[in-house]
Amino acid sequence: MTTALLSVWDKTGIVAFARVLHESGVNILSSGGTGKALKDAGIPFTEVSAYTGSPEMMDGRVKTLHPKIHGGLLGRRGIDDSVMAEHGIPPIDLLVVNLYPFEAMSAQNLPIEDLIEFIDIGGPAMIRAAAKNYKDVAVICDPADYPAITEALGKGGLTTQMRLSLAKKAFARTAAYDAAISNHLNSLDSTFPSVLTVQFQSGRMLRYGENPHQQAAVYGTVGIAGIEPLQGKQMSYNNYLDLNSAVGLLREFDDPACVIVKHNNPCGVATGKKPIDAYIRARDVDPVSAYGSVVALNREVGSDVAEAICSTFVEVIIAPAFSAEALEMMKAKENMRVLILPHPSLADEIRSIDGGILCMRTPPYLEHWEVVSEREPTATELEAMRLAWRVCKHTKSNTIIFANKEEALGIGAGQMSRVDAAKIAIEKAGKSLKGSVVASDAFLPFPDTLEVAADAGATALIQPGGSIRDAEVIEAANKRNMAMVFTGVRYFRH
């Protein structure tokens, strides 16, 4: 390695890395802000304009777009040597480039005239050129790679496999950069871009998909997609789905809470003064379904919760933290996945369909709770409604939830008929429903669901409202002396 070109926006670690190159006998080309940083550090380099014989032009827009630069990057050793010699183009062996921060600047709602100046042209062009010629040129577009390259240089140089790995990363980076520009410009006049390009990183193969005959992988570096177990088997496709559902519901609660999910639906939800109280209550909502489930808690797991977890079969447990005693106890369940609850990662929801995708965004919104019955709900009923409504939001439609102020009592999920969902919830309830409240994810088109719920012992009902037969349902509630609240927001979940 004889010559390196350094041109970076993010100057993290660049001076230390340049010093390693210089001490290794590598000639450095640079310019602009990178050149200033090297000059201030006393590291010798050659200005790009002096190297090419052409001055920077158009406020720096044109400086590396030159045959001596791109010929040095693209020239194939042993193939293009004579052409390079004829035109006075020395080879460039290492390119270190990262790009203008378009992604960060586009989030600041700059005028398009200002934002356009953060679209890098020379950088992506050089990165792609070097990556195409990876057998002869190494390309670094991420400061995190400096230590590995430094180590490789100390051991005699970069292997072909390392160069290919860097090239893959480089093409992925330019693809993501172009996608960010395209998505932003194509959404200037609309909520969603007319052309949508997405990229997810860190693809990892899973043992299989939803079923053993299907193949699957998971992509992502943050949120649920990015976490790996502290102990236990590799996460499965279904584990990720269930965990995503469990954590989504768990984040609805501020008090100590536990959510238990099976087959992408909650089968137990409860709060308590302590995590152990929340877990036991949630488990006992439907102990049969809780067997082989995903358990999520929003407080540290101590030895008491660990002991209870280890007394049954749990596929996955996730919490913000685990005590040392709890982790030691859970080692007895060597296949159980134990994970740390990550910070939420907000993004549009994307789902594939035949021939394309659906993309959904949930902007900030307010529910408008309105008592529509003659009787006002009691304070206890209102607390129970809040819990039932949260559970309803994260359960597959059609769904009916019975609850008290501390726990879900009966969960009816994923039914074509709302009445059937209510009957299933009643059948699944492990406790008396007398004095409970009931929640429906969408409006009641007829009074029948309310009547079934009232017969089971419910005294209050919460639903979005909006049916052409709302008056009939309200009349039925009044006849049963039930309190009823309309929220104005529907929570279909398919």
From the candidates 11, 233, 263, 405, give the one annotated as an active-site residue. 263
- DSSP run (H or E) holding 101: none
Active site residue 331: no
DSSP letters spanning 248-277: HHHTT-SSSEEEEEETTEEEEEEE-SSHHH
From the candidates 11, 132, 233, 405, give the one annotated as an active-site residue. 132
Extended beta strands in 171-221, E state: 204-205, 217-218
The candidate with the shortest Cα–Cα distance to 128, out of 83, 173, 165, is 173
As to burial, measured by CB atoms within 10 angstroms (0-12 exposed, 13-18 middle, 19+ buried), residue 410 is buried
Give the orientation angle of helix 67-74 with respect to helix 122-132, to 10 degrees.
30
Angstrom CA distances, 416 to 265, 397, 471, 494, stand at: 15, 8, 23, 11
Active site residue 263: yes
Residue 64's contacts (CB-CB under 8 Å, 6 or more residues apart) are 5, 7, 31, 48, 122, 125, 126
User: Alpha carbon 81 to chain centroid distance?
Assistant: 47
Whole-number Å distance between alpha carbons of 316 and 311: 14
C-beta neighbour count of 135 within 10 angstroms: 12
Q: Give the active site residues.
A: 132, 263
